[in-house]
Structure 1
Amino acid sequence: MTNHPMTNWIDIGPLDNIPQRGARVVKTAFGCVAIFRTGDDDVYALEDRCPHKGGPLSEGIVHGASVTCPLHNWVFSLETGVAQGADEGGVATFAARIENGRILMDAEQLAGRSAA
């Protein structure tokens, strides 16, 4: 992730609010964004809507740096948002980081404006 010097980071909440290999949903101007926590305590933010049939990715199974859609088992990279294997497509990704045990996200990106 490239950190743009003018990025306005907003506090989403404590990392401990999301269980390991779990997710929570944040409503934004963009729409619903799923914040995922891996077993290694990394955080990723993806659009919470599978492009296949609109399944809620936040309800999927997190394994490694991937999430499996709960509806039809499509697998997406948490790092890139790209569908894995034979499936095609992807979901939007958002900049997220952890600072002092808190999850921060790029406010400009969540508002639908690119900070790049």
Structure 2
Amino acid sequence: MKNDHMEFYPVGAPDEYLTQIGRVVEIGGRQIAVFRLSDGRIFAALNQSPHPKGGPLAEGIVSGHYLYDPLYDWKIDLTTGLVQAPDTGRAHMLPVKVEDGQVWIGAGELQTTA
């Protein structure tokens, strides 16, 4: 599905994602961490910590709309991708929409960089 020059890929129904538990899906050979918050909102990011040493994000702990990096305990705002002070950085967030009982992730740029 294309939307404003962005390619969206189906990754399952919302209820396939456990609340506050990250899940990895693959799009274009890249791992995407998907999170469903307790309020039902769904967010997606590259499964790569913004920490200089990297690491997975999907294994992090979700509280409210924040993700706590599983290796470095960085607090990441899932609505913006911004790492909270005193740390700095930004997770690579991807657009998400839910339509017709399906979660769609906008990841067109991943196809060209994978």
What does residue 87 of structure 2 align with? 87
* Superposition TM-score, scaled by structure 1 size: 0.82
* TM-aligned CA deviation for residue 94 of structure 1: 0.5
What does residue 68 of structure 2 align with? 68
Contact 1:94/1:109 (<8 A) preserved? no
In structure 2, give the amino acid aligned to 1:16: D
CA deviations over 1:43-97 (Å, ceiling 9, x no partner): 1111111122323111111111110011121011111111012001111111111
User: Gapped runs of 5+ residues in structure 2?
Assistant: none
The count of aligned residue pairs is: 111
* Superposition TM-score, scaled by structure 2 size: 0.84
1:1-116 alignment to 2 at 5 Å?
Answer: 4-29=3-28, 31-52=30-51, 53-112=53-112
Provide the identity percentage. 32
* CA RMSD, Structure 1 to Structure 2 (Å): 2.0
